[in-house]
Amino acid sequence: MWRSFSRGLTAALLLAAVSGDALAQDPASFYKGKTVTLVVGYGPGGGYDIYARVLARVLGKHIPGNPTVIIQNMPGAGSLRAANYLYNVAPKDGSVFGTFARNIPLLGLIKSKQNVQFDPRKFTWLGSSSSFANDAYLLIARRGSTAKSIEDLRRPGGPPLIIGSTADSASSDSNTMAVVLRDILGFNLKLITGYIDSGQLFMAMERGEIEGRTVSLSAVQSNKAEWIRPGGPVQVLLVFGRQSRHPNFPDAPLAAEVAKSAADKRLIEILEAPYMLSRPYAAPPDMPVDRAKALQAAFVSAHKDPEYLADAEKLQIDVSPIGGDQALSLINRIAATPSDQLQWLAQVMRGGG
């Protein structure tokens, strides 16, 4: 009996030692010869996917051990599925990280949906590829549509502008913005929901199924740049997520400029805060500290890589990165929003005004 117990104890100690050795590996030894998975919370072709693919091409060079970085698209619920996966299911050893919607951290703080299964403050934050310094979130419409100005959008009894949304989900930027435009700014809109991803929305506009959509400038530039060139088939009606008008669209007002009250303006300003975390990247919580630091340093370094910058310039995507510490600081700042204002946000993200 003692010999059996002794053998079992020895086996357990050996297993613990092996596991301990794996955890104790320095980052270069751990990552050498490995494949790192970058989970994208949307399908191929949209803005988040494009940013991720540009990053994946160079990131391995900046991680100790130079692993291969591959993309795994995981669309669903406006990227909430991917956020839940990273927090609860993905390995916590540094072999998986991901990107999801910019408003996912806000969704996690206000807990407006039962299937939010994470605390955004506990992710291992790598940073954001864009702080929206040169970007903008736009309401665009085809020329010849029912609305050509803010006045048209607010005209009582006029025909609604038909816009599309990626999902009937509170974590969808397009859905949240539609509620803001309709219920906070008083725009006459008809929302068509259920499109799988941004690529489908672009096609829906081309086919005439919808007249407009909300979308980041960088996504339009990298997919349909000709749309918003002078004389192009699409006009920009409104700009969101910036402190000043975008220099390319000086006639398009900011959402805060056309708010109907001080309270509405304050709500819009709170909703705009996550845009500084415009293209966020995070790994699971509770990672080994040295690997977390290695990934965070690699993320910052990759955004200075000449190959990354050349690809970004070709695709006309904004490069204004912030690191993991800045990302977490921003989330903590949003978390400090007074409770009554967070309740407003929760109502808006549930689809109410």
The span from the CA of 163 to the CA of 149, in Å, is: 15
Sheet with 96-99: strands ordered across: 68-73, 35-40, 96-99, 280-283, 124-128, 322-323
Closest by alpha carbon to 202, among 221, 182, 185?
221
Cα–Cα distance measured from residue 91 to residue 97, given in angstroms and rounded to the nearest whole number: 9
Q: Do the Cβ atoms of 321 and 128 come closer than 8 Å?
A: yes
Q: What is the pLDDT of residues 280-331, one digit of tens each?
A: 999 999 999 999 999 999 999 999 999 999 999 999 888 999 999 999 999 9
Q: What's the pLDDT at 255?
A: 95
Report, as ranges of residue numbers, the positions in the chain whose pLDDT lies below 70: 1-24, 112-114, 167-173, 349-353
CATH domain 137-273 topology: D-Maltodextrin-Binding Protein; domain 2 (3.40.190)
The full set of domain ranges for the chain reads 22-133+274-349, 137-273
- Whether pTM exceeds 0.85: no
Domain 22-133+274-349's class?
alpha beta
105 and 120 in contact (C-beta within 8 Å)? yes
> What's the residue count for the chain?
353
Q: Do domains 22-133+274-349 and 137-273 have the same CATH topology?
A: yes
